[in-house]
Amino acid sequence: MALEQTRPYELDLYVEGEPGEPDISDLVILVDYVSWDRPKRYNGALSGGGSIHTESGILTGLSSRSVTVEFDSAFSETPVGWVKVYRMTEMPDGGYREQDVLWGYATSTKVTTTGFSLTINEDESLTGVIVEYDFK
């Protein structure tokens, strides 16, 4: 008997409530963690695709070196995520790349539950600057 190995992205999608599919509370899912000897199982009580609080955006056409982003709704704890500040520049072969723009956070607290502030260095032109962020 041969063992067939598949990758998760190759498998059919489970759609809750679809005819012939089990109830979500009957599902068993394997979870793994580096300090465990073996994977463990998680049975039921999934949120049905639950919601994850995400705050993300792309800012362009900046008119000030000081940028403050206030999240639409506050996180219950400090979120995890990233901020990128760059401009798109043309390369000699006609392609484009992200060119880093010199910037820094306005305070030693990078992000709070309600947002973040940053300052773009005075030596940088604001032309074409893009601020991109994503927090969860």
* Residue 50 located in a structural domain: no
* Residue 127 located in a structural domain: yes
For residue 73, the 8-state DSSP code is: S
* Residue 2 located in a structural domain: no
Do 114 and 76 have their domain in common? Answer: yes
Do 36 and 61 have their domain in common? Answer: no
Write the Ramachandran bin of 84: left for phi over 0, alpha for psi from -120 to 50, otherwise beta.
beta
Domain count, the chain: 2
Buried b (16+ CB within 10 A) or exposed e, 26-55: ebeeeeeeeeeeeeeeeeeeeeeeeeeeeb
More confident residue, 116 or 47: 116
* Residue 111 located in a structural domain: yes
Q: Which domain holds residue 18?
A: 9-43
CB 45 within 8 A of CB 27: no
Do 35 and 67 have their domain in common? Answer: no
pLDDT digits (tens, 9 = 90+) for 59-110: 999 999 999 999 999 999 999 999 999 999 999 999 999 999 999 999 999 9
Cα distance between residue 57 and residue 81, in whole Å: 12
